[in-house]
Amino acid sequence: MITGGAGFVGSYLCRMYKEKYPDANIVAFDNLHRRGSEFNLNDFKKRGIRFVHGDIRCPGDIEAIGETFDLFIEASAEPSVLIGLNCPDNYAIQTNLIGTINCLNFAFKHAGYFIFLSSSRVYSIDPLRNIPLKEGDTRFYIDTSKDIMKGLSVKGINEDFPTNTARSLYGATKLASELLIQEYVRAYGLKAIINRCGVICGPGQFGKVEQGVFTLWMANHYFKKPLKYTGFGGKGKQVRDILHPKDLFEVLNFQIEKMDGISGEIFNIGGGTDVSVSLLELTQICKKITQNEVPIESDEISHNVDIPLFITDYTKATQAFNWKPKTSVEDIVKDIYRWIVKNEDTVQSIF
Ligand SMILES: NC(=O)c1ccc[n+]([C@@H]2O[C@H](COP(=O)([O-])OP(=O)(O)OC[C@H]3O[C@@H](n4cnc5c(N)ncnc54)[C@H](O)[C@@H]3O)[C@@H](O)[C@H]2O)c1
């Protein structure tokens, strides 16, 4: 059972599980809130993935499924960090927090294992903005000559990094969900894992400025549309690590094998330093692949939830599962390019 199953990550996982377990009953549960998710439905039908149109804000929609599952992956969300309290009907809180509780209430009765896709955005904004940085020609680097903070090393940000001050509404709903999951583990014996994911991107993501900007970057190069470097001097030197969903799928499988010993644990999951990129560097990669150059404006002003650098230190996951991401930045971007070429009309209608 995958909630948000028609979204970018959820739909990728549905397909991977169906390939790995062809006889399994895979349910993609989604309210199709995200534009583009509807394009997965025909393909689900062909592959024998069952789509259920439902909303995690409504416990009755989840209960109505009336089945039990070995595994429940909570991958639905309003995933934009720019979403504010003014979003209609408190959508982010209702989905990302109350919806998660509804999923937990179902999962502890009707599912063997529960996996939650949390976010690196649970880490507090001010300490993230205070990470000592050096400015290189194409990106910011962590300045290890300065005092290193708790949870930070040359490898990036680990699970001990502060979460105790403001972290965006999105981050707060994810952190609050994490706390409740751990309570369900302790109080009700739920078997659950929390994965704090950095940026995940790849084919099938209908990116937009507010979320999915790496896919949007490639799409705008392909469709020759303008872009903008926003914040931190407006030079495009902000850095993120990125993760292909197939690398996420791999670590989820390792986690399931070991679930009994690690229930309630939190893991940072991301591309790490080896699979990190700045927007400026991404522009060069997109230019090389598409042979297109697009106008890029500059806006020096940073949004109050934006951060100049996030690189996941996934050492804990490596130690626990002998896992590390395998897909390079170039391969992720090429994969996005191939998806756009193959689905040009659909992709263009959304971007
Ligand atoms: N993509 C990333 O970079 C990233 C990084 C960290 C964490 N995550 C988390 O991974 C999960 C998947 O993200 P994604 O990138 O696939 O986002 P997405 O927007 O592509 O997918 C989310 C899906 O959830 C559905 N949804 C939204 N509200 C719902 C509701 N109330 N009921 C049922 N379905 C609902 C949407 O229609 C969409 O199909 C989310 O929980 C997100 O917070 C994503």
Of 2, 3, 8, best ligand 1 pocket probe by most atoms within 8 Å of the beta carbon: 8
Measured from the CB, is residue 173 less than 6 Å from ligand 1? no
Quickly count: other Cβ atoms within 10 Å of residue 194's Cβ: 24
Decide: 62 in ligand 1 pocket, CB within 6 A: no
pLDDT tens-digit series, residues 119-174: 999 999 999 999 999 999 999 999 988 888 999 999 999 999 999 999 999 999 99
For 142-191, give the DSSP string. E-TTSPPPTTEETTEE-TTS--SS--HHHHHHHHHHHHHHHHHHHHH--E
- With a 6 Å cutoff on the Cβ, whether 33 touches ligand 1 is yes
Q: Evaluate whether 173 touches 96 at the Cβ level (below 8 Å).
A: yes
Q: Which residues 6+ apart lie within 8 Å of 319 measured at CB? A: none
pLDDT, one tens digit per residue, over 167-183 is 999 999 999 999 999 99
Q: Is the CB of 168 under 6 A from ligand 1?
A: no
Asked if residue 259 has pLDDT above 90, the reply is yes
At 330, which amino acid appears? E
Residue 292 has pLDDT above 80, yes or no: yes
Residue 306 CA, distance from chain mean position: 16
- Per-residue pLDDT at 139: 98
pLDDT top residue among 87 and 98 = 98
Work out which ligand 1 atom sits closest to the CA atom of 94: 31
- In the predicted model, what is the mean pLDDT of residues 250-259? 97
Q: Is the Cα torsion angle 208, 209, 215, 218 positive or negative in sign?
A: positive
pLDDT at 291 over 80: yes
As a dihedral over the C-alpha atoms of residue 144, residue 147, residue 149, residue 152, rounded to 10 degrees, the angle is 10
Ligand 1 atom closest to the CA of 12, numbered from 1: 16
37 lines ligand 1 (CB under 6 A): yes
The pTM (predicted TM-score) of the whole model is: 0.97
Tokens, residue 41? 């439905």
Is 243 within 8 Å of 197 (Cβ atoms)?
yes
Quote the pLDDT of residue 4: 98
Cα of 80 to ligand 1 centre, how many Å?
9
Query: Is residue 9 within 6 Å of ligand 1 at its C-beta?
Result: yes
Which pLDDT does position 164 carry in this prediction? 97
Residue 42 confidence (pLDDT): 97
Whether the predicted pLDDT of 107 surpasses 80: yes
For residue 119, what pLDDT is reported?
98
Average pLDDT over residues 16-41: 97
Q: Is 200 in the pocket of ligand 1 (CB under 6 A)?
A: yes
Query: What CA–CA distance (Å, rounded) separates 181 from 177?
Result: 6
Name the pLDDT band for 203 (thresholds 50, 70, 90).
very high
Whether pLDDT at 199 is above 80: yes
76 C-alpha vs ligand 1 centroid, how far in Å? 4
Contact 214, 242 (CB under 8 A): yes
The DSSP bridge partners found for residue 278 are 239
pLDDT in tens, 37-92: 999 999 999 999 999 999 999 999 999 999 999 999 999 999 988 887 678 889 99
DSSP 274: G
Average pLDDT of the residues of the chain: 96
Q: To test ligand 1's pocket by mutation, which of 11, 27, 30 has the most ligand atoms within 8 angstroms of CB?
A: 30
Detail the DSSP E strand segments found in 37-108: 50-53, 69-74
Q: How much of the chain, in percent, has pLDDT values that exceed 70?
A: 99
